[in-house]
């Protein structure tokens, strides 16, 4: 830890307009840097290994886990097939309990709704709990920019998200937003905020954060949360978390706003018994997280807790266009983060390399679908296709198959380079025709000769260097099995 005393106190207001906009293009360049970062690998391994060990133990101890997984898949399938009616049911149930419902087509709609609400309420401070949906639309930055006249202070109150916000950084993992930071770095960030040097131990840092954030909860005019699930039949919004900030955000400020992706719906309350059990085990390796919050409308008459006013924003932002397509399964995701933890690419690059709110295998699938194939063209290739992601997914999303479909779509849309496209088409033709295959092998044997050294193909120039720089590619054998068979060898 650095020993110089920070000059002054810093808070979230100082971070306005520091630009944490996501930039999806350039995965390969960012990944190269990340792969060389030893500290990053240590931090990633610390978090992912611990989480995976917990996941394997808790799911392994649940004999009905495979059955729950299947049920989860079918519930999501049914939900998506009838999403319109479940959304109406959810909206009616929330309104019946005195809440307000707004259907937002995109991030712009969400920003406008919350901005106008803040104006009407004369809000100055907004306290937020962890929400990937609001990260996805960069709510904080856009609210501050579009409603600069309101002079809003928007404070993340999840500990990791707050630290990321103070650092002008953004989350690198769905569940562990600052897993890329070590304790010393956290101590440095919080010391700058405190205006005094804080020791790098968890108790002291947490005590400082608790004190500072409590002031924000008490000052907040509006609380914003995301939702892990929304129950259509009751209008209940469920958040699954390990920090108490979620409860404070939903009940201390007079106004509670929920920003929920439309795919987070489940039809029935009993469906939660499937998803909550899978989510906590897969996400953090716990049987159940410390807090599972259920909010159904604003505070009712005679009730002690809850906001005076509650607003549910049901956000589409590109999701509905996936319904009924070959990519619909991407909407089944419950954001447990398990596919990130097992992914050999994510484990080397971390989340920032993806340049998107969503990283790892689900990020590589959902980002091109939401942002466009062109902008996110590298992401479907950020996979070894080992299938570990599909295997670990508690909802049974065939992630590696979706990645293959996205690659295929790139070829069809002419997004991959012409040379690459021609190469794969040629490869396909060769593999389909025995005569072309035999001729190809003969040509290959001759062509490889200058590149073979010590029994393997050495680094080659041009487009093949990406492979041969880091891998020993075995050369084609002098004789194929068929040739040897024919010759009786």
Nearer to ligand SF4, 107 or 394 (CB): 394
382 binds ligand SF4 per the rule CB under 6 A: no
Q: In 3-state terms, what secondary structure has residue 103?
A: strand
Q: Which of 190, 395, 416, 457 binds ligand SF4 (CB under 6 A)?
A: 395
Of 25-33, 108-116, 328-336, 481-489, which segment contacts ligand SF4 by CB under 6 A? 328-336
Q: In 3-state terms, what secondary structure has residue 376?
A: coil
Q: What whole-number distance in Å separates Cα of residue 323 and Cα of residue 316?
A: 11
Element (H, E) at 115: helix 107-121
274 binds ligand SF4 per the rule CB under 6 A: no
339 binds ligand SF4 per the rule CB under 6 A: yes
Nearest 5 degrees, angle CA 424-CA 429-CA 432? 125
213 binds ligand SF4 per the rule CB under 6 A: no
Nearer to ligand SF4, 310 or 397 (CB): 397
Phi, psi values for residue 55, rounded to 5°? -60, -50
Q: What are the respective helix, strand and coil percentages of the chain, to the nearest 5?
A: 55, 10, 35
Nearer to ligand SF4, 34 or 362 (CB): 362
Nearer to ligand SF4, 113 or 332 (CB): 332
Query: Side-chain half-sphere of 31: how many Cα atoms within 13 Å?
Result: 18
262 binds ligand SF4 per the rule CB under 6 A: no
397 binds ligand SF4 per the rule CB under 6 A: yes
Q: Is 122 left (phi over 0), alpha (psi -120 to 50) or beta?
A: left
220 binds ligand SF4 per the rule CB under 6 A: no
Q: Which of 307, 333, 343, 416 binds ligand SF4 (CB under 6 A)?
A: 333
Site for ligand SF4 in 277-296 (CB under 6 A): 282
Picking from 157, 138, 293, the residue whose alpha carbon sits closest to that of residue 231 is 293
User: How long a stretch of residues is the chain?
Assistant: 489
Q: Which of 338, 349, 359, 367 binds ligand SF4 (CB under 6 A)?
A: 338
Q: How many C-beta atoms surround the C-beta of residue 172 within 10 A?
A: 27
Picking from 290, 320, 355, 358, the residue whose alpha carbon sits closest to that of residue 133 is 358
Q: What whole-number distance in Å separates Cα of residue 48 and Cα of residue 202?
A: 19
139 binds ligand SF4 per the rule CB under 6 A: no
Nearer to ligand SF4, 137 or 366 (CB): 366
- Report the nearest approach of ligand SF4 to the CB of residue 222 (Å): 29
- Report the nearest approach of ligand SF4 to the CB of residue 336 (Å): 4
Of 248-256, 300-308, 367-375, 389-397, which segment contacts ligand SF4 by CB under 6 A? 389-397
- Is residue 429 within 8 A of residue 436, CB to CB? The reply is yes
51 binds ligand SF4 per the rule CB under 6 A: no
Contact positions vs ligand SF4 (CB under 6 A): 282, 333-339, 362, 392-395, 397, 399
């Amino acid at each position: 830890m650095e020993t110089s005393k920070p000059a002054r106190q810093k808070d979230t207001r100082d971070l306005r307009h520091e630009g944490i906009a996501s930039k999806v293009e350039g995965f390969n360049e960012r990944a190269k840097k990340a792969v060389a970062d030893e500290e990053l690998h240590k931090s990633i391994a610390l978090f992912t290994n611990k989480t995976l060990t917990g996941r394997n133990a808790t799911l392994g101890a649940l004999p009905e886990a495979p059955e729950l997984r299947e049920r989860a898949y079918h519930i999501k399938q049914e939900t998506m097939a009838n999403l319109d009616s479940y959304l109406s049911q959810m909206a009616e149930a929330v309104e019946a309990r005195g809440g307000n419902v707004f259907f937002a087509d995109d991030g712009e709609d969400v920003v406008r709704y919350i901005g106008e609400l803040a104006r009407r309420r004369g809000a100055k401070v907004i306290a937020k709990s962890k929400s990937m949906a609001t990260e996805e639309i960069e709510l904080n930055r856009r609210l501050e920019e579009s409603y600069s006249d309101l002079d809003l202070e928007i404070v993340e109150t999840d500990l990791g998200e707050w630290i990321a916000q103070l650092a002008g950084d953004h989350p690198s993992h769905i569940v562990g937003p600052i897993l890329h930071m070590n304790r010393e770095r956290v101590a440095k960030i919080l010391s700058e905020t405190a205006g005094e040097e804080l020791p790098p131990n968890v108790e002291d840092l947490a005590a400082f954060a608790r004190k500072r954030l409590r002031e924000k909860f008490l000052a907040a005019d509006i609380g914003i949360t995301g939702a892990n699930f929304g129950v259509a039949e009751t209008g209940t919004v469920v958040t699954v978390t390990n920090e108490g900030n979620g409860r404070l955000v939903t009940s201390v400020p007079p106004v509670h706003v929920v920003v929920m992706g439309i795919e987070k719906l489940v039809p029935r309350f009993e469906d939660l018994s499937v998803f909550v059990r899978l989510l906590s085990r897969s996400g953090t390796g716990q049987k159940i997280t410390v807090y599972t919050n259920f909010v159904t409308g604003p505070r009712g008459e005679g009730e002690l807790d809850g906001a005076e006013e509650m607003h549910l924003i049901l956000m589409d932002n590109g999701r509905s266009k996936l319904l009924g397509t070959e990519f619909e399964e991407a909407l089944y995701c419950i954001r447990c983060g398990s596919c990130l933890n097992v992914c050999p690419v994510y484990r080397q690059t971390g989340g920032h390399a993806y340049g998107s709110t969503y990283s790892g295998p689900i990020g590589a699938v959902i980002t091109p679908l939401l942002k466009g194939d062109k902008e996110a063209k590298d992401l479907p290739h950020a996979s070894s296709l080992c299938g570990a992601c599909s295997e670990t997914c508690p909802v049974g999303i065939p992630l590696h198959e979706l990645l293959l479909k996205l690659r295929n779509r790139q070829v069809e849309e002419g997004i991959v380079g012409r040379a690459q496209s021609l190469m794969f088409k040629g490869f396909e033709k060769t593999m389909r025709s025995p005569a072309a295959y035999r001729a190809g092998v003969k040509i290959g044997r001759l062509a490889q000769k200058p590149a073979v050294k010590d029994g393997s193909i050495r680094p080659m120039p041009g487009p093949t260097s990406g492979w041969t720089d880091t891998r020993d590619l075995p050369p084609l054998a002098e004789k194929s099995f068929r040739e040897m068979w024919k010759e009786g060898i």
